[in-house]
Amino acid sequence: MGYYYGYYMDPTYLLVLIGAVLCIFAQMRVSSAYKKYARIRSRSGLTGAEAAQRILQLSGIHDVRIEHVRGELTDHYDPAHKVLRLSDSVYGSASLAAVGVAAHECGHAVQHHKGYAPLKIRTALVPAANIGSRAGIPLIFLGVLLGMNQLFIQIGIWVFALAVLFQLVTLPVEFNASGRALAMLGDYGMLERDETNGCRSVLNAAALTYVAAAASAILQLLRLVLLFGGSDRRRDG
């Protein structure tokens, strides 16, 4: 019972707090950058939807639909249905922030079109990652409740590790999409150099959220391993 209590009071909880602080800091950065450049209109006057349509056409992609979805920064590319969804603050806005976000999602569409390997891996990991994020911790708790049952605990740790792996694979996918976005905006003459720098600030801040999420997941996994990975040895001792 003391060990179960220790799960909540153990000093390793500091790892979770560090991860939370990183995520909060990253969200503050992206919110600040987005708000700053959402107030600056692109000289081309293209909205996020128009910019996305032009990028897709110039990239030779003609089978991807662009849809408007509700919410703020809910933008995403759906490779299963070949749909690029842009949020309220991006779809009809001609700001540098909106154009940058739209171009980033187009970067994912280009990745899909060209068979970018890390995107394929991330897509394949989605089912396993969903299971890991939802079932990993409950399985570990079940193992604890069953008297430190190592079968459930180890399965829980390994399942949770799949969610961590997904976060790690996401990093090169997102970085590459941002790189493609900035290159296309410049190559296609949609933004001038100083405007591209503004988009870069927004996309770099957004990338930081993925780094923070990955770091937080790794720290959580490390905590679980420290607490439960050697349970047999502690119990035997």
What residues are labeled active site?
Answer: 105
| Strand-pair partners of 121 | none
Query: Any residues with CB less than 8 A from the CB of 119 and at least 6 apart, and which?
Result: 79, 108, 111, 112, 173
Distance, CA of 108 to CA of 8 (rounded, Å): 40
**Whether the Cβ atoms of residue 135 and residue 159 lie closer than 8 Å to each other:** yes
Distance, CA of 237 to CA of 233 (rounded, Å): 6
Query: Any residues with CB less than 8 A from the CB of 141 and at least 6 apart, and which?
Result: 156
Strands 76-78 and 65-68: unpaired
Q: Closest by alpha carbon to 159, among 117, 202, 221?
A: 221
Q: Maximum CA pair distance of the chain?
A: 70
